[in-house]
Amino acid sequence: MNPQMAPSRKGESEPRRASARPAVELAIDGRTVSVPEGTTILGACRGIGIEIPTLCYLETLRPVNVCRLCMVEVDGSRVLVPSCSRPVEAGMKVHTGTERVRHTRKLVLELLASSVDLSTTPGIDALLQEYGCRPERFGPRAAAADAGVRDGAVAGHHEPPDPRTAATVAQPVKVDNDLYVRDYGKCILCYKCVEACGPDHQNTFAIAVAGRGFEARISTEMAVTLPDSACVYCGNCIAVCPTGALMVRSEFDMRAAGTWDEARQTKTDTICPYCGVGCTLTLHVQDGQIVKASSPLANDITRGNLCIKGRFGWRFVQPRERDGRAREGDACA
């Protein structure tokens, strides 16, 4: 976990005890703004109600600047600047909605939408519309790769691309355990899961980025199955994934059956009963059944994280005759 960052009430990344820092004055879209030193441009923008789209940014993770969706223009800077990680400077003049900014965001979104299944990415349709994206201009999507092909790609060994189709990361879903699935056809390579599994939260390092260029992908060590990897099934990677590429098995199965319906779900915060840490659990309930457990980001104890018991050990609550997989889930509880 990054010790310097803490979620604020507005969900921004701000340094701890930010109010004790000297103020920095800058201009954002012509408005003079004063924020504590160390505030990111993104945080300063959100503080005055300017929304900037992000994909790889999360207030509980160290910024890795890989999606390039949050770019803004700064006077005197030759290149666009990632607002999620760049701290403000005195006298800075930031422009968040210029033609150049909108053009680059549009291209990022189009490239993602042409190559990745974004069907479970919250809010993406509105963004594609807002920026006038036409991902179809890159041509029809290429056929999905067979299972294991992308996992076996060797850096430097490239097949020439087919100019008639848009390259994609489409591939079969990895279903190799009872707790969660990995659908890397939906992966935008935002690194959030790697950060959460590694240095920012879990320090398990079960997953990392393998390969280069378009063949880069999230992988376990030697691409082994999850049960054969170092994964401890905390599910903290699932909690930060912005696209649904990582999904709890219960949600995956219900979506496949056409029964997953967030409009019919309630969320109730409670305390995990498994140990004395007392993590806050958010129980997602649909039709009288718990369908998922998560934990709020804005919580100083969990910061959205749980262990296997909190994340998955709730199936014992369900009536067994109505949940055929309850007995499997019991094994982890």
Instruction: Note whether 61 binds ligand SF4 by CB under 6 A.
Output: no
Angle (CA) 268-271-277 rounded to 5° is: 150
Instruction: Note whether 133 binds ligand FES by CB under 6 A.
Output: no
Length of the chain: 333
**CB under 5 to 8 A by kind: which of ligand FES, ligand SF4, none does 277 bind?**
none
Instruction: Note whether 312 binds ligand SF4 by CB under 6 A.
Output: no
Instruction: Note whether 207 binds ligand SF4 by CB under 6 A.
Output: yes
Comparison of 232 and 275: residue with beta carbon closer to ligand SF4? 232
Q: How many CA atoms lie within 13 A of 147 on its CB side?
A: 9
**CB under 5 to 8 A by kind: which of ligand FES, ligand SF4, none does 67 bind?**
ligand FES
- Residue 134, phi then psi, degrees to nearest 5: -130, 75
Q: Which of 204, 265, 282, 318 binds ligand SF4 (CB under 6 A)?
A: 204
User: Which region among 137-145, 149-157, 203-211, 262-270 touches ligand SF4 (by CB under 6 A)?
Assistant: 203-211
Instruction: Note whether 232 binds ligand SF4 by CB under 6 A.
Output: yes
Instruction: Note whether 197 binds ligand SF4 by CB under 6 A.
Output: yes
C-alpha–C-alpha distance, residues 155 and 209, integer Å = 12
Count Cβ neighbours within 10 Å for each residue of 292-317 and write b for 16 or more, e otherwise. bbbbbbbbeebbbbbbbbbbbbbbee
CB of 191 to ligand SF4, least distance (A): 6
Q: Tokens at residue 258, please? A: 């056409």
Residues 40-99 that bind ligand FES (CB under 6 A): 54-57, 65-70, 82, 84
E strand or H helix that includes residue 126:
helix 124-130
**CB under 5 to 8 A by kind: which of ligand SF4, ligand FES, none does 55 bind?**
ligand FES
C-alpha–C-alpha distance, residues 304 and 260, integer Å = 22
Site string (268-287) toward ligand SF4, x via CB under 6 A: --------------------
- Counting residues that bind ligand SF4 (by CB under 6 A) gives 27
β-bridge partners, 6: 14
Phi/psi region, residue 140 (left: phi>0; alpha: psi -120 to 50; beta: rest), is beta
Comparison of 15 and 310: residue with beta carbon closer to ligand FES? 15
Radius of gyration of the CA atoms of the chain, in A: 21
